[in-house]
Structure 1
């Protein structure tokens, strides 16, 4: 019984090896004909919010040439 099992395992291994060899050449990889285009529509918005103290605004208005 052990001998039959060993023969069966050898036959299975041989079948798998032949199948793997036959299927090994089926995979091909090639570069695309057209360039790959990635379209990124990105909108970047930045808002700057500032508040000035009344006194600071008055100082800036008095010394406009500095700023």
Structure 2
């Protein structure tokens, strides 16, 4: 009977060690280089519209300019 208890304890210890050895490891690391986000935004239409409106106002206010 004593041998049966020793065998059970040995089996339990071996099982715990086997499970502990197989636990996955997760590592979160920052990338070695910074992350760059390239945004190609074109703001030409808004700027052109404001310049055209200003040009029309200048021509209307100064008809002899050109």
Higher fraction of helix: 2
- How does the TM-score come out when normalised to structure 1? 0.39
The higher relative CO (CA closer than 8 Å, separation ≥ 6) is in: 1
